[in-house]
A and B are shown apart, each in its own frame.
Chain A
């Protein structure tokens, strides 16, 4: 099934840390929007997982941020921006298994050091920028093209 998208759709969610019971709300809402548009389920799954990981990182490390999405006929783009502590060594942070998650977060099952790799794996284009003391921006693009595997 291919969704018919005739224009650009945009929206955003504010992510506030602390209340973990609300984690995933933004991703759930985005998922609902995409399904309602008739998007392919596999595409929706990839977007939801990548977005959820980004949402979690904001909640855990930055306490507050904003998640913006743009849906065009060609692609879905999600930008997660926070004004948290930033990441000193991005290459290290991108490595599977690297985590600085505090104990209370680990007790809840986060902190495998797999969130950023998961975001990358589920995106066709993945970008991360971070400035220590200023914040982190993660940009994930998932293509909607017919080319399937070719586009990944």
Chain B
């Protein structure tokens, strides 16, 4: 499923204009502990987190994640956005909680047969 569709359905706000949304999403992962995400997130996953500092971009790059969603309206730091633009990683903002966001995303992916 395309990231673009998910962004529309969940009303996520893309914060990195140069990072395109035409990428494929393979699933999702929720976590605020970076080493846990490094161990357990899957390639192409959307990563839902409340972390906002610059190291989240490196995690997304090394894990080949499709996007980072920052929850609870938490705005990433300026250097995080800069790095994300450099590395072509979409960061998507939502005012909703991680629980709501993950629940919704799961539903969408499940309906598409991506997550069972």
Which residues in A have some Cβ–Cβ distance to B below 8 Å? Answer: 20-21, 23-24, 27-28, 31, 45, 48-49, 52-53, 56, 108-115, 117-118, 121
Contact = CB atoms under 8 A, between A and B. Distances in A.
Given A52-B38, A108-B53, 16 more contacts: A21-B79, A24-B58, A45-B62, A45-B63, A49-B62, A49-B63, A52-B58, A53-B35, A109-B32, A109-B34, A110-B35, A113-B35, A114-B33, A114-B38, A117-B39, A121-B39
B interface secondary structure, majority: helix
A52 B33 CA distance: 15
Nearest to B55: A23
The size bracket of the interface on B is 20 to 34
Given A21-B79, A21-B83, A49-B63, A115 B35 contact: yes
B62 A109 contact: no
A110 B37 CA distance: 11
Contacts of B33: 109-112, 114
A137 B62 CA distance: 23
A49 B53 CA distance: 18
Contacts of B43: 45
B36 A20 contact: no
Nearest to B56: A109
Contacts of B58: 23-24, 27-28, 52
A110 B35 CA distance: 7
B61 A28 contact: yes
A118 B35 contact: yes
A52 B58 CA distance: 9
B88 interface: no
Nearest to B33: A112
Nearest to A59: B55
B64 A45 contact: yes
